[in-house]
Structure 1
């Protein structure tokens, strides 16, 4: 049950935090992003990558991982980097951000395929989603969208990862390509997590707080 519940609750928690804060700076989102990026990257390397390499031929695995990286690059053409903490859409726009919505939903849906009972990726997705949900919620609350539009956006976004997990667990037709999909998700996670780690620095200067957050993220991922 936690495989389905935790990703949903991560978005709910992010929305609640955003609702009671006026700015992402109030929660030092950059440090939270650094921790989540390191945690997600470490779990991907510790859990998901060895599993995929055990079931697929090495060169093919690399090809599918690269496919995931390229897919995420394409998604970010439309989401403008919302998956790693950036929303570059004008707040005064009244047009519903369909491209942002669809690309985020695709990203979240694919995340769900990495979550299995025999790995801990649900925690990586959980920690990754909280700061992203905060940033997206802050943007939506400040934008001139209707309350129903905002509610539906966040509800569907919250449901997409559990939906991906459900389909990966129940659709037998996907059993034969499950490891291929996981390899592509690895590529997505590698792109997202490394981008978070690089972009959370100001002017690429050494930041002790960020460094500690990264060490903590890796350490927690190793210990769970």
Structure 2
């Protein structure tokens, strides 16, 4: 299962990169917004109807602080990323690497990959039967993995667009994208092999990730669009994401 998750995480990033290469510039912005709206609806829904109730069912007191911490961490990370997580692209000419942006995106990706582990020491509790994160018991789908993958596609599109617009050669841009693609798998592997040694409850990290999801999804939803026609399309895309989260719950 770890290998399958890793492949999905990596391929989702490369899929976003290929969209940039093969789509015309006029289509990229709309594609990013549609993917973002869809993933924003999905992330918000799985946070409210799935992860928050599950976390609170096991941690009645104190867990809300970690959700708030995740929200604030994402707010801090976006100071360096410039909001690329929800479609903001600010290119700088000259081909210089924006290390603050890359480190911010990588740290975000690493953190959200940690709860994906299915083999940590508290697996039996973390993925408790009937309401675990592997709803694949009847759908074959992992809702947390789906949420991360669906959001990584527009982020990868935005990152690849930013790199090429900043003057990067396409080969160098692919190298940067490849480095970004392995961050969530590294987080997942750390959850597998690092957390049993540290002894931190994975539910705490999940709560932090949920807080990050809440910040990203609400920002996507409430940011204004440039014209009213796209607002309607954005709404439909968002509702589709919500419906998908309900179907796989």
Tell me, yes or no, whether TM beats 0.5. yes
2:40 is equivalent to residue 37 of structure 1: yes
Aligned residues, how many? 222
- The aligned counterpart of 1:80 is 82
User: Which residue of structure 1 lines up, in the alignment, with residue 245 of structure 2?
Assistant: 221
Q: Is residue 2:158 matched to residue 1:135? A: yes
* Range with greater deviation from structure 2 (191-200 or 156-165): 191-200
Alignment of 1:6-45 (within 5 A): 6-23=8-25, 25-26=27-28, 28-45=31-48
**In the TM superposition, what is the alpha-carbon distance from 1:184 to its structure 2 partner?**
0.9
SS class of match (2:95): coil
Provide Cα deviations, 1:81-101, integer angstroms capped at 9, x if missing partner: 1111112242x1332111011
Structure 2 residue runs without a partner (length 5+): 119-131, 134-142
Distance change >3 Å, CA 108–CA 9, structure 1 → 2:
same
Q: CA offsets, 1:2-34, max 9 Å, x none?
A: 322211111010011111123263453212211
- Structure 1 Cα separation of the partners of residues 55 and 246 of structure 2: 18
Q: Separation in 2 of the partners of 1:46 and 1:12? A: 30
Match of 1:165 in 2: 188
Asked if structure 2 preserves the Cα contact closer than 8 Å seen for 1:85 and 1:132, the reply is yes
The 4+ residue runs of structure 1 with deviation greater than 6 A are: 203-206
Can you give the 5+ residue segments of structure 1 that lack an aligned partner in the other structure?
A: none
- Counterpart in the other structure of 1:185: 209
TM-score (norm 2): 0.81
In structure 1, what is the equivalent of residue 115 of structure 2?
114
